[in-house]
Amino acid sequence: MEIIIIFILLVLTVEVTYLVAVNTKRLSHKKEIKPIFVDTSVLMDGRIIAVAQSGFILGQLSIPRSVIGELQFLADNSDSEKRSRARHGLDVITELQAMPDVKIEIFQDGSKAKEGVDERLLNLAKKYQGSICTIDYNLNKVAKVEGIAILNVNDLAMSLRMAYLPGEKMNLELTAKGQDAHQAVGHLVDGTMVVVEHASSYIGKMVEIEFIRSLQTAAGKMMFAKVVEAKKTNAVIKKAVNGVRKPVDNQKKIETKNKQMDNKVTAKVKKPVQKLAAQTQAAVYHSDSNDQRLANKKKNNKPRRNKNKNKSAQREQDFIDLLNKQ
C-alpha cells in the first residue's frame, strides 16, 4: 500500500513539473515575440529591406492596415513625387512578404485612422507592448515621451557610418609593410586596417595622414590614406630655395625701380624749368619783390608822363596865344 502511494506521488510530481515547464516556455515565448509596428515613412524610405535581409529584425513586422490605406491615398495624389514614393512603399511591402526569413503580418485595424496614423501606431504599441519602426522625427520624440521603444533606421545608419570620412586627418602609427613596396599599414582603435600610400619609410613612426577612400566588404572595412608630412616637407624645401633666390631678384627690382623714379623726377623737373624759361623771355624778373613792384610801376607810369608833357605843351601854347591877342 505504501509503495502504491509513493508511486502515485511520483507520477503527480512528474506531471506538475512538466506542466510548469511548458507554461514557462509559453510565457517566455510570448514575452520574446513583440510586434514591431512599421510606420509609413519607413516603407517609403525602403532601407528596411536591407535591414531585414541582414537578419537584424528578430521580431514580427506588423504593418497596420491604416498604414497601407495611407500609402494608397498618397499613391492617388496629384503630386507626382508623393505618388511615386507611395507606390515605392507598396512595392517594399510585397518585397518584405516575399522574404522567407522575415515574419510579416498585416494587422487589421481598419483602412482609415480617424485620429491619424501616428496616433494609431502609438495606441497599438501601448496596447500590445510592441515597438515602432519609424524615421519620422516628431513621432520618434512623442514615442520616447510615451515610453515606447523606437527602431529608427536613421540612428542605425549613423551608428554604422565610417568613423573617418575622406578628407579627414589624424595621427596614426604605421606598424607594418603593405602589399606593395611603397605602402605601410596601420590600424585604428576599432581594428580597421588603414593602408597608407608612399609611406614605407615611416614604418614604426607616428605620422599625420589624410584619408582618401574607404572599402566595405563582407570581411570588414578597409581605408586608404596618404601622408600629409610629405607635402609639408616639399613645401618647406621650395620656400627655402625661393628664399635663396629672392635677394638677387630684389636687387634687380630695386635697380629698375630707381631708374623709373629718376626718369619720373627728371620729367617732372624739366616741365617747370621750360615754363620758367618761356616766362623769363617775355618779362624781366627781379630778385627782390619790391624791385619787381617798382619795375611794374615804371612800366605803368611811362605813358602817363607822355600825357603830362602833352598837356603842359598845350598850356604853354594857349598862354602864348593869349599874349599875342593882347
Q: Higher pLDDT residue, 250 or 282?
A: 250
Q: Cell numbers 594857349 correspond to what residue?
A: 318
Domain check: are 201 and 255 in the same one?
A: no
Mean pLDDT of the chain: 76
Domain check: are 274 and 297 in the same one?
A: no
CB burial readout 280-318, b (16+ within 10 A) else e: eeeeeeeeeeeeeeeeeeeeeeeeeeeeeeeeeeeeeee
Statement: the pTM of the whole predicted model exceeds 0.75: no
Domain check: are 73 and 107 in the same one?
A: yes
pLDDT tier for residue 279 given thresholds of 50, 70 and 90: low
Domain check: are 203 and 294 in the same one?
A: no
Domain check: are 173 and 268 in the same one?
A: no
Q: What's the domain range around 269?
A: 228-280
The model's pLDDT over 196-229, given as tens digits with 9 standing for 90+, comes to 998 888 888 888 999 888 887 766 778 899 998 6
Please state, in angstroms and rounded to a whole number, the distance separating the CA atoms of residues 151 and 132.
Answer: 6
pLDDT tier for residue 314 given thresholds of 50, 70 and 90: confident
Predicted local distance difference test score (pLDDT) of residue 283: 46
Domain check: are 37 and 139 in the same one?
A: yes
Please name the residues in contact with 85: beta carbons below 8 A apart, sequence gap of 6 or more.
44, 74
Is 321 a member of any domain? yes
Q: What percent of the chain has pLDDT over 70?
A: 65
Is 253 a member of any domain? yes
Looking up residue 141, the CATH number of its domain turns out to be 3.40.50.1010
Between the CA of residue 7 and those of 10, 11, 18, 173, 269, what are the distances in Å?
A: 5, 6, 17, 74, 139
The model's pLDDT over 100-126, given as tens digits with 9 standing for 90+, comes to 888 888 988 887 878 888 999 999 999
Positive or negative torsion for Cα 265, 271, 275, 281: positive
pLDDT at 233 over 70: no
